[in-house]
Structure 1
């Protein structure tokens, strides 16, 4: 796109000048009630939004492409563009056309970019998921030390932690930020890590990451002389936080959001779970994409947006601190024993609004009277919640209960100032309650009485003219005017009425007049309406300042409400689903009695089927070698035990009869097959990369679940890799592990390694079919039943029969030795020469034979009952 401005209109010259300042964003250029885009921006936006591409004028002899969207509907278009990877620069009119004309007839309305819309800086309700955070992150490196800072400007949450390059991927998987900032020039190094976790990569200049100027920037942001009051931050942590602050200043054009003091986190405080494990366990997102089918979706019983976000944070970051875990479990246990209190708390919380996001929108001047009403209503609801909370709560809930009250001054202010149901936008007016401001009441009285004066004046003019159909109307062009038909107008244009009625306009069917008196009343009414809006605008600003001044206590209240919501939700879940409190301690114990997979159990319940609970004991022997056929439930068993550890250390009850879990520092999962074609990795390569990560990182507090290691290569290659992997877990990592395999030869390791015990998922074979019992017991499987499972899957009978022949030959050869095995394989007839076997005829049972002699229509009720007993006896 050429930027030659020598032969363009003043308006287009202004567009090109502003666009040059934001070359990497689509410029939404405000023109009246529309945002318009030109040149390449228009072409890209029209395609992305599926809207019409038109043209407006010429530039360098060529048509200027143009498209536009309505101002009032812009949020929906922002979301579409953000999801497709665009950034949007919002350019607003900073003055009215009338003000511009005062500078000269051809003066262009002043316009400025007031905001950059990017994935990590969204605040509008319509652009966000109310139940999930929207994080913006920044990663900094100084002399081989790294740090990650992240913020949700829609809630004000701000965190920072030390983070090595190797840990960046797992931490991004935990946080799932929408946008990650790195220093300019390092984007190629981190691009793959960021994109793997679904975030957009953004670069900033090195000055944004400078720790010295960054400290000054942060001190200015929080209006403090030193950051020491918030914690002892390293230089690299300050660098990461500085980049966040700088980026917010750029995108919000100086109108910074309310950020809470930064919270310093340590990696050792939370259970470490890498991205592959999170995907495998489907913690917050299902394999198919979306929340449906994930553990988060299954256990979420929260009734507030803040509680839902807190649940996701804790599920994504289970604690490793015993005091924290025990305090959370104490709270949940207290509410499970007080079910009526739990119900009362949940009933009160259902009326609570999203305090954090309403406060953030008001601070950024993107809110409205309804956000104020939401805060007012939430303050009132918090008072009512405090009234149902008894004494004697566990410490965490007791602290939260104290923070529910103490907001009386702000509540009284908002109660007195706002009507019950205010409009969405402050510019609409009418949201200030009568009696709050004397000047506003006086102006409103004049405005409202003016309407009755107009009605009285219309009656007066009807009487004066004798024209019953005469009306006083209003439009934005003429203001107030008198309207009558052309027939009646002749009378008004003639003496003596023409001395009172002044002709203004003639239309096809109507004639319009005014009078001196009507013009005077109009001026008074219009001034009153405009004055009322000005007063309400001033009052709105003062109320916003009063609310923002209480951002600290309001933020504390929001956290308290979320704590009550999450605790009550977990208690409600535990009672409804018969979950129990786990014993969590500093041992290496892992003893589960009657454990269940929460997501699978919920799905089976909907289908009316039971879930088979199973025990798992890794205390005596920390590694279980699990064998059994496909479809028997090995993967479910592996995953469910990992989920139980996560739920327990999150601070929730678990789906089991009993559970004793020693602190798990890390969870690693290698379950399921997948490839990564984009990076040229086969299924086996992906498997080996993930296995290598586990063996190189797992410590003696880790819980590892591995399924079918080595299956993607030749049999002996795979067996040797699986064998060596298990030995390494036992001898070097010394962790707790569940190791599922089809290599039955590995069961011999239980005789060689003290910490390995065999377990199997049981099945039953009946008339050539395999019946899955889904029960885990000590011991080994005698075979994998692969051919039977293939038959259940619907393979053609000829293929199944052929597979049985080959299997028998291979097994016979294996028993006879390798040479004999090869000879047997060579002697097998070609598959094409093998006729399709006749359908297997099942042997007729005694019950079937007896039923052939029964004539149902001839049976009396007594005979039918006797027949049932007879058949039951045969079974």
Structure 2
């Protein structure tokens, strides 16, 4: 009885079959994963796993056999197409345990006819542990990140969060320490696909919300994974060293996180060891801090809709390799703050901009260079095939070709290019030659298919292939030899299923063979013919029968030998892969600068922020694709003046649709591009290093935390005001618009004062509150700017040009008209606006500025001794109950108090 028959048998409803017992045992050991249970050419899923998979994959759910009296839900996927189904399941956040047969079915039968083939889980597939090309995005890293919190874990002794993130597909391994204020921003910069953390930490509501909003699949694990006491030993064992001193100095929090990620790798890979780099300590202080909401608002890597197309990354990406695209994304995610390091990147872009022939030759060469780092990882994990080895050979060949091109360049090379060239020069080129000689040009994907070793590489293999593929020719040659030797032209060598291969000759002509029975062994006498065999023919028959198996065995031996050589050269291969990625990014940014007329920015440690004719890179590209109007460039100068040692604030007014938000975003994007090492879309750019970038643009709610749109706006604004420093760049759009007019105006007013007096940062502040423009009279670093518009026959024409000055109106009704509001609504809106303007409510705000103290002047002052007798002003104040006043009544009461104070004066 077969295994499937055992499963289907309904004979004893309440009897657990041997197969079900095996399945349940393995499933119990892997409760959090869908179990892919190998049965012949299919991976089968049972019970709840089958129900989940059938819904997720859109495959048929069947019922086969019974377990404890109940039908067994079941579905399956073909082994040859398993990767496609795995990709869908992983994308949906599922984890899969792959359970394979670990013995030959023939061996199982020796234990008894009803014995079950031994099976075991050979791998746990999770979002962060993928290595297969078909399951990965070639342009994105696939980070598995560990997060832990440790009291007293930092170098200063304070509580700290430890982060450790790896990419198993490339071997990258980084660690960092962070704190409460930076944690969300650091996770956003890493962008992990899967996040592992102690299960107790995940039970904290705020931590759960923060980690869920990272977008990563969450994998809670026992706290023991992050045991700090054994962390150093775990890392030392993994990297086979006695001490970690050679890797650098790490905090307790970083070591704990690193131990946690390695423990998870060992759990999921079941003994296989990914070729990870030694841990590299990343200092958060070396990167521009960009919080998650700012990344989302600026659409750095994805649009607000979650798409790559339309993001800044998609707009600037001119790389031609997957590794280059990943490096570009990494640099965009974490712009530098060290001017010298930024200049090194700019020098490399300049080099390829000046050497166009070299650049285009490099790009052409790189287009055919496969992804070495990912191929190496698959080979080390025994998931690689012949194409992976050939990929390494081809990529090493590309590196050798580029080195020869560099040899024709006269003069010094910039540091970044020279270091990349050194990595390529140190690559194992002899190994590349061996791999090229060993492998066919188009090998199969899987090594088990064989036929990937090139002809002429191994003589024994060539002979076996000849036997396997040309057995008729070999037999024909032997038949000709016998016929010539015996003088029997009628001699034939034939084959049947009973005798196998045999020699046949007419009885009357077989005398010579009968006379030499030691050589020609009689097999059968037929009517008119006799059949013989020889030791030579028997050996040839045996060789032919086993030639295919023996040829495959030799090829597998060759594969293992080549794979071992590749793994031993792994460090040099990974270094060369990184070198190619750096060259790809530098050449791609030079190509971008040439095509889009980007210029090299000046980056230093001043507080300058001077942009001449700046452009929004994404909007400009979109306008070009649509064939519409050209982009209108604008200047921005937020740098210090002689009397203002810190940055300036621009208060920008003007109608909707005129380009205020575009102007705000483009300056933030220019800062990001400049500090990631790219040239920028401007005629000139001088930027003092921006250490933190803050953006409050757009409207969104946060229902998960019970926050309204206005509440989210206030939370994000609070984060900016509490964290921004004098090197920060802040862009704020329409602060205070989510509440009542006077409440919003008051909040916006106080926010500007705080930015000016306390944060002292560079900022762009767009608003429709025209009353705020009066603040420029009191705040020396606040400058008014507006967007030019023209009115024509009652309509508004947007010029998209930012000029000094202030708008006197918002043209909201004209914009509403353009949006298609019914004519009756537009007409009525104009009537209401006219009545409101006649009341001149807004003009009163300008008089308030003479009376309201600045933010910095709001500190408590010593109270003067009370005057003798009743104070009319105090009496009037005591009569007011603020909780009973509407905003309108409060303002009127304020005017009455002001009038009373003038009487006293």
Query: What's the TM-score, normalizing by structure 2?
Result: 0.83
Pairing of 1:229-240 with structure 2 (within 5 A): 229-240=246-257
Counterpart position of 1:561: 580
Contact 1:94 1:112 in 2 (8 A): yes
Counterpart position of 2:160: 145
Counterpart position of 1:409: 430
Pairing of 1:672-683 with structure 2 (within 5 A): 672-683=698-709
Pairing of 1:208-357 with structure 2 (within 5 A): 208-357=225-374
Q: Is residue 774 of structure 2 the alignment partner of residue 752 of structure 1?
A: no
Aligned with residue 574 of structure 1, among 565, 568, 593: 593
Counterpart position of 2:527: 496
d(CA) in 1 for partners of 2:288, 2:625: 32
Counterpart position of 2:396: 379
d(CA) in 2 for partners of 1:422, 1:195: 43
Contact 2:13 2:70 in 1 (8 A): no
TM-fit CA distance, 1:454: 5.8
Q: CA RMSD in A?
A: 2.8
Change (3 A) 1:572 1:736: same
Contact 1:191 1:201 in 2 (8 A): no
Counterpart position of 2:109: 101
| 3-state DSSP of counterpart to 2:277 | coil
CA deviations 1:407-428 (Å, max 9, x no partner) are 2221122122212221111111
Which shows bigger deviation, 423-432 or 596-605? 423-432
| 3-state DSSP of counterpart to 2:798 | strand
**Structure 1: runs of 5 or more not aligned:** 483-492, 502-513, 819-824, 826-875
Counterpart position of 2:443: 422
Q: Is residue 176 of structure 2 the alignment partner of residue 161 of structure 1?
A: yes
Contact 1:317 1:650 in 2 (8 A): yes
| 3-state DSSP of counterpart to 1:404 | helix
Contact 2:13 2:68 in 1 (8 A): no
TM-fit CA distance, 1:167: 2.0
Contact 1:500 1:515 in 2 (8 A): no
TM-fit CA distance, 1:447: 2.7
TM-fit CA distance, 1:405: 2.2
Q: Is residue 60 of structure 2 the alignment partner of residue 52 of structure 1?
A: yes
TM-fit CA distance, 1:342: 1.5
Pairing of 1:256-655 with structure 2 (within 5 A): 256-389=273-406, 390-391=409-410, 392-406=412-426, 407-453=428-474, 496=527, 523-608=542-627, 609-619=629-639, 620=641, 622-655=648-681
Q: Is residue 705 of structure 2 the alignment partner of residue 688 of structure 1?
A: no
Aligned with residue 23 of structure 1, among 31, 49, 57: 31
d(CA) in 2 for partners of 1:130, 1:60: 47
Aligned with residue 759 of structure 2, among 724, 733, 741: 733
Counterpart position of 1:812: 838
TM-fit CA distance, 1:495: 5.9
Which shows bigger deviation, 741-750 or 677-686? 677-686
Contact 1:194 1:200 in 2 (8 A): no
Change (3 A) 1:480 1:360: farther
Change (3 A) 1:335 1:210: same
TM-fit CA distance, 1:674: 1.4
d(CA) in 2 for partners of 1:615, 1:473: 90
CA deviations 1:424-470 (Å, max 9, x no partner) are 1111111122332333233333333424246789999xxx9x9x9x9
TM-fit CA distance, 1:319: 0.2
Counterpart position of 1:199: 216
d(CA) in 1 for partners of 2:679, 2:528: 87
d(CA) in 1 for partners of 2:345, 2:541: 66
| 3-state DSSP of counterpart to 2:120 | strand
TM-fit CA distance, 1:623: 0.3
CA deviations 1:700-725 (Å, max 9, x no partner) are 10000000000010000000000011
Counterpart position of 2:508: none
d(CA) in 1 for partners of 2:18, 2:479: 47
TM-fit CA distance, 1:348: 1.5
d(CA) in 2 for partners of 1:496, 1:358: 63
| 3-state DSSP of counterpart to 1:186 | helix
Change (3 A) 1:373 1:65: same
Contact 1:632 1:763 in 2 (8 A): yes
TM-fit CA distance, 1:677: 2.5
d(CA) in 1 for partners of 2:318, 2:729: 28
TM-fit CA distance, 1:204: 1.5
Query: What's the TM-score, normalizing by structure 1?
Result: 0.86
Contact 1:454 1:472 in 2 (8 A): no
Change (3 A) 1:459 1:93: farther
Aligned length: 787
| 3-state DSSP of counterpart to 2:203 | helix
Counterpart position of 1:850: none
TM-fit CA distance, 1:61: 1.3
TM-fit CA distance, 1:186: 1.4
CA deviations 1:757-781 (Å, max 9, x no partner) are 0000110001100000000000000
Contact 1:458 1:472 in 2 (8 A): no
d(CA) in 2 for partners of 1:252, 1:377: 28
| 3-state DSSP of counterpart to 1:283 | coil
